[in-house]
């Protein structure tokens, strides 16, 4: 599933991407690899299973077997950079791979403006202020039309449609446009998740999240205009590396932690954390994409959705849950980055994985740092009264853990720390070299005709 994210630079006022003067940093967008994460249960990935039964809705169950890879939910990278910000040239050439542990460690612990992750005390109050800042409502409905863009190539495909690399006819910037076929969305009973994705993407704006700039629709399709994230998926990098050195895993985990802290402060549960949904921008920083399962949850919800390996036991057991599931998933993510596999993975069916999750027995390889083991044991625990992130201290309990002792959180939030790996892409040039190639769409977009499903997507 392709994704799109937004890059950072200087703070500028946010401009309408439709304006000819608008300039947006292209951040790595990556379509989900066709070999997704072991039987994903997501609204836009293969083998989607979603059983919806929230506090204000009746039970609805759906089992969807997708025929192939799906476009990743459009990433939106929000944060300090506004669409009017132009990238300051292509990203510096970084490591072409991550095979040399010492090299990566030197990059991650190396210097950015003089230093990197230092044991500087964290200021929880500062981060809390950043995370809880109210977002200004952004208008996305009907901001663009097909005539505003020139289609370049397909970045990813799926059962609902595909993601295209496009170039704005106004500011010549490159974007990713996610195109979803209305008939398929309705057939697979993904109307609610599709509308929720648009709603969540419109609401959030943060450094480590992808940015949605606008949406529109025609008689057959829905269109979501997002930042083009050039660096690809963290999943691909992890598979090439097999597993990450401790400092590298810590860097990525720290950025994800900040993103979750921000989302939770907005009352949003992400619910689909995994390497495939983490994109690398041109400088190697993360962007979370694919918000198909993100949802505003003031108290609890009962929806069964996510990826089998990453599901918390309370979700598997069909119990009501809240933000605690994201912290469980963070633990699974850290474990996978450090080990190269997930703790409950089983070569058999997803049902076996669920059984392992409910048993809750985790075997930690001896090469994992003791501090990491301690953190993981406090995240991957079925006891909600002990799970970090779900306690009175919230996300600060996670950030203040000994494993993150070297992280200077306020600097990381500003991207003042160099990433351990810089994707080999030419920033701002529409470089899609990190994406697989797909046959192009044969059906022409924008054709007039009857629109039997338009009333289901009024906010597009």
Name the percent of the chain in helix, strand, coil, to the closest 5.
30, 15, 55
pLDDT in tens, 339-370: 999 999 988 789 999 999 999 999 999 999 99
Residue 272 bears catalytic tag: yes
pLDDT in tens, 236-261: 999 999 999 999 999 999 999 999 99
Which CA distances in Å does 259 have to 151, 207, 270, 356? 31, 8, 10, 28
Residues in the chain: 460
% the chain with pLDDT above 90:
62
- Report yes or no: 200 and 216 within 8 Å, Cβ to Cβ: no
Phi, psi of 221 (to 5 degrees): -130, 160
Q: For the whole prediction, is pTM greater than 0.85? A: no
Strand partners, 157: 162
- Report yes or no: 5 and 290 within 8 Å, Cβ to Cβ: no
pLDDT in tens, 204-248: 999 999 999 999 999 999 999 999 999 989 999 999 999 999 999
Mean of the per-residue pLDDT values of the chain: 77
* Confidence band of 138 (pLDDT split at 50, 70, 90): low
How many alpha carbons fall within 13 Å on the CB side of residue 222? 29
Query: Which of 148, 272, 418, 436 does the annotation list as catalytic?
Result: 272
Rounded to whole angstroms, the Cα distance separating 457 from 445 reads 18
Is residue 55 scored above 90 in pLDDT?
Answer: no
* Confidence band of 141 (pLDDT split at 50, 70, 90): confident
Is residue 97 scored above 60 in pLDDT?
Answer: no
- Structural domains of the chain ordered from first start: 5-413 (1.10.510.10)
Q: Output the pLDDT for position 135.
A: 56
Confirm whether residue 274 is marked as ligand binding: no
């Amino acid at each position: 599933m392709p994704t799109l994210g937004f890059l950072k630079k200087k703070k500028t006022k946010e401009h309408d991407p439709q304006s000819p003067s608008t300039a947006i940093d292209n951040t790595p967008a990556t379509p989900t690899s066709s070999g997704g994460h072991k039987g994903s249960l997501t609204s836009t990935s293969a083998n989607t299973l979603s059983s919806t039964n929230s506090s204000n809705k009746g039970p609805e169950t759906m089992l969807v077997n997708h025929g192939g890879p799906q476009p990743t939910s459009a990433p939106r990278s929000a944060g300090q950079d506004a669409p009017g910000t132009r990238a300051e040239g292509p990203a510096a050439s970084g490591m072409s791979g991550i095979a040399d542990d010492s090299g990566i460690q030197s990059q991650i612990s190396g210097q950015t403006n003089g230093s990197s992750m230092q044991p500087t005390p964290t200021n929880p109050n500062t981060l809390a202020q950043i995370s809880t800042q109210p977002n200004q409502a952004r208008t996305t409905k009907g901001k663009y039309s097909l005539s505003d863009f020139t289609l370049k190539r397909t970045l990813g495909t799926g059962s609902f449609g595909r993601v295209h690399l496009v170039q704005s006819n106004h500011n010549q910037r490159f974007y990713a446009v996610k195109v979803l076929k209305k008939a398929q969305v309705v057939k697979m009973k993904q109307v609610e998740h599709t509308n929720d994705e648009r709603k969540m993407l419109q609401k959030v704006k943060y450094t480590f999240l992808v940015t949605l700039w606008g949406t529109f629709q025609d008689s057959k399709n829905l269109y979501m205009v997002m930042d083009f994230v050039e660096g690809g998926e963290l999943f691909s990098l992890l598979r090439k590396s097999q597993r990450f050195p401790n400092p590298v895993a810590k860097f990525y985990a720290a950025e994800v932690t900040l993103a979750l802290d921000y989302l939770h402060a907005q009352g949003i549960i992400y619910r689909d954390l995994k390497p495939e949904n983490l994109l690398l921008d041109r400088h190697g920083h993360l962007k979370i994409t694919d918000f198909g399962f993100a949802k505003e949850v003031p108290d609890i919800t009962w929806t069964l959705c996510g990826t089998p390996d990453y599901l918390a036991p309370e979700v598997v057991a069909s119990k009501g849950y809240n933000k605690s599931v994201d912290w469980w998933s963070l633990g699974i993510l850290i474990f996978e980055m450090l080990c190269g596999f997930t703790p409950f993975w089983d070569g058999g069916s997803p049902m076996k994985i669920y059984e392992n999750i409910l048993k809750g027995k985790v075997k930690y390889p001896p090469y994992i740092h003791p501090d990491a083991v301690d953190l993981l044991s406090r995240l991957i625990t079925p006891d909600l009264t002990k799970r970090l992130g779900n306690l009175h201290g919230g996300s600060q309990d996670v950030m203040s853990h000994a494993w993150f002792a070297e992280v200077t959180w306020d600097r990381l939030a500003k991207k003042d720390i160099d990433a351990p790996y810089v994707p080999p892409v030419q920033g701002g040039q529409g470089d899609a070299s990190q994406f697989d190639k797909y046959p192009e769409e044969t059906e022409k977009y924008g054709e007039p005709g009857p629109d039997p499903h338009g009333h289901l997507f009024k906010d597009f």
